[in-house]
Each structure stands twice: as C-alpha cells, then as structure tokens.
Amino acid sequence: MLMSVGRLLVPGRRIENGYPRHYRESCSATLLAPVDGEPASLILTAWHCIEYHTDLTDDITFVIESTAGERLESRVKTVSSGGGMHADWLIMRLEEPLPTATVTAANVAQDVVPGIGSRIIMAGYSRDEGLGEAGQVLTFHRNCRVVARSDEDIATDCLAYRGASGGAVFSIASGRLLGVISRGDSLAQSIFVPVSRIGGRAGRLLFH
C-alpha cells in the first residue's frame, strides 16, 4: 500500500515584497485503485498543494515509483476539490493512466470513519533533511493513532513533516486508504481529512 504514494510537483507563484516569486511546491499524493481491468488514472492529494498554482499553462506533475523501481510520471489536471482549507482534499486525473500491472494503487475504505484509538499509518514525501532527504524518500509513521475527531477533520499523534501534505493515511487493520494528510506541527500532531467527507460526484469517483 505504501508504494501507492507518490510526489506532486506544482509550479506556483507568490507575491513577496511587492514582487512575484516563482517556485515549485512539492507535496505528496496517492494513486487510487481503478475499476477492475482499467489503468489507474486518479490521485488524491490536498487542496492547499495547488493553492498558488495560478498559471494554468504550467504543468503539475505526479511522480511515482513502479513495482520494478522505475520512475514514472504524468501530467495531472484537477477533477474536483474541497475548495479550501475547510475541506482540504483534491482529486486529479493523470494525463497518462498507469497500468496496474506496473504500479501499486490504493483501495479506498468505504463508509469508515476511524474512531479514537484506531491504529493507522501516515505516509508521504517529507521535505526534512533527515529521513525524507528533502522530499526524495518516502517516509512513514507506522502504528500511530487517532487522538481526536471533529465533524470535519481527524487529529492523530502521527509525525509528518512539510512535504507530506497530500499523502496517505492507511488503516493498519485493513490496509485501505482512510484519508489525506492536511497539516501538522512536525512535532507531535498531524491532521487528516477522512475520505468519508468527500461526497457527491467526487465521492462516486473514489468509491466507483
């Protein structure tokens, strides 16, 4: 399941001291399992990863490692999103779908909202200089737990650094995808958006 997590490379622009500054945001994203027999074509990430992507002519790229250890990449386009930090999720479609024989894709947990104490795995490409090697290596926190819930997001004691945003939260019990990493303090708490919050047409894409 961890191999379903890849990197999302997003060109962006911010105004600093009155001048535009161009840069590249690096986030994480999870490749979603398709309907049987079809290539994998959708990823789930965090809305805030594309917040400063204002020039639509600049391509956003998803990068993932194949089961053979090869680097695969595809341009991606937005399909649906929560539209802000109040609903920090985003579904994107790959321009070049990936055959499931060559990659790992995550199965989404349906109608499951993890309770307090639930054991989970949180995974992403953290940009810390240590384990994450500045976003080049997938890092994960295994066997951390849900510590609080609201009507919207779920708090955990998982450790995730900047760059892991958009990454995956998996159930240890089922191995299925429970949600998308939204934010954290890089110390003792990380917050994720459960997939159960994604409804309507977007939810139908997730749950087929």
Read off the DSSP letter of residue 115.
P
Cα distances from 79 to residues 27, 91, 92, in angstroms, run 18, 6, 5
The answer to whether residue 60 is domain-embedded is: yes
Which pair of tokens denotes residue 85?
A: 């930090």
Q: CB of 135 within 8 A of CB of 26?
A: yes
In three-state secondary structure terms, 146 is strand
89 and 169 fall within a common domain: no
62 and 133 fall within a common domain: no
Return all residues near 3 (Cβ < 8 A) that are at least 6 apart.
64, 65, 67, 103, 104
Query: What CATH number is attached to the domain comprising 130?
Result: 2.40.10.10
Q: What is the pLDDT of residues 70-111, one digit of tens each?
A: 999 999 999 999 999 999 999 999 999 999 999 999 999 987
In three-state secondary structure terms, 189 is coil
Q: CB of 108 within 8 A of CB of 177?
A: yes
Q: What is the pLDDT of residues 49-70, one digit of tens each?
A: 998 777 777 899 999 999 999 9
Amino acid in the structure at residue 204: R
In three-state secondary structure terms, 188 is coil
Cα distances from 178 to residues 12, 39, 71, 96, in angstroms, run 28, 22, 26, 25
Return all residues near 167 (Cβ < 8 A) that are at least 6 apart.
5, 27, 28, 29, 30, 122, 123, 124, 125, 160, 180, 181
Q: Structural domain tally of the chain?
A: 2
How much is the pTM? 0.89
93 and 124 fall within a common domain: no
Return all residues near 100 (Cβ < 8 A) that are at least 6 apart.
33, 34, 39, 40
Which pair of tokens denotes residue 26?
A: 């690096």
pLDDT band per the 50, 70, 90 thresholds, residue 132: very low
Q: What is the pLDDT of residues 148-177, one digit of tens each?
A: 998 789 999 998 877 789 999 999 999 999
44 and 129 fall within a common domain: no
The answer to whether residue 104 is domain-embedded is: no
Question: What is the domain extent for residue 23?
Answer: 2-98
